[in-house]
Amino acid sequence: MKWIVFIGFALLGTLGIIAGVGYALPKSHVASRHMELRQPPQAVYALIAGPSTWRKDVKKYEPLPQGDGKLWMEVDNYDNEVVYERVEDSPPKRLVVRIAGHQPYSGTWTYDLTPTANGTDLRITENGEVFNPIFRFLSRFVFGQSATIEKYLTETAQHFGEKANIQP
């Protein structure tokens, strides 16, 4: 019985430390990664600006009527719904998307497409906020703040039949 109480206090203490460190971390962060694709900017832009059904973790994509074509909802494999808004659209050079729904996180992704001799350099910059201090700790020290960007870039390369060579 003493061991159960001891383990319980140890778990609570660990959770308290994680929450305390997370609370001390800033809510805001910036993460950025890029890679080169052997595709013209128009092809890359068409993919990232269109329906995201090509991504493995998107189960459903639905344009929302109230946004004049600038709002849509994605449902992931865990049935989480996220509403996005296109806030800047400069084809085929730049796209800025922000989270428009209520989530435990918020922010924007800026997609910058630069022509290269071999195709396109695609850079994604996340300006994000994580409100929950435990999630903030996990994002910073466990998952990494650029993990979602790296997954997105990897799937983008795979869509074009290429290997992702992701750079900071």
pLDDT in tens, 100-145: 978 889 999 999 999 999 999 999 999 999 999 988 988 888 888 9
* Per-residue model confidence as pLDDT tens digits over 137-162: 888 888 889 999 999 999 999 999 99
Residue 132 placed within a domain = yes
Residue 77 placed within a domain = yes
SS3 47: helix
Residue 61 placed within a domain = yes
**Edge-to-edge strand list for the sheet holding 94-99:** 28-37, 120-130, 105-115, 94-99, 81-90, 71-76, 58-63
Q: Which domain holds residue 118?
A: 2-159
Q: With bands split at pLDDT 50, 70 and 90, how would you rate the model's confidence at 33?
A: very high
Specify the CATH number for the domain of residue 134: 3.30.530.20
Q: Please, is 9 exposed, middle or buried when counting C-beta atoms within 10 Å of its C-beta (0-12, 13-18, 19+)?
A: exposed
Angle at 105 between CA 44 and CA 21, to 5 degrees: 125
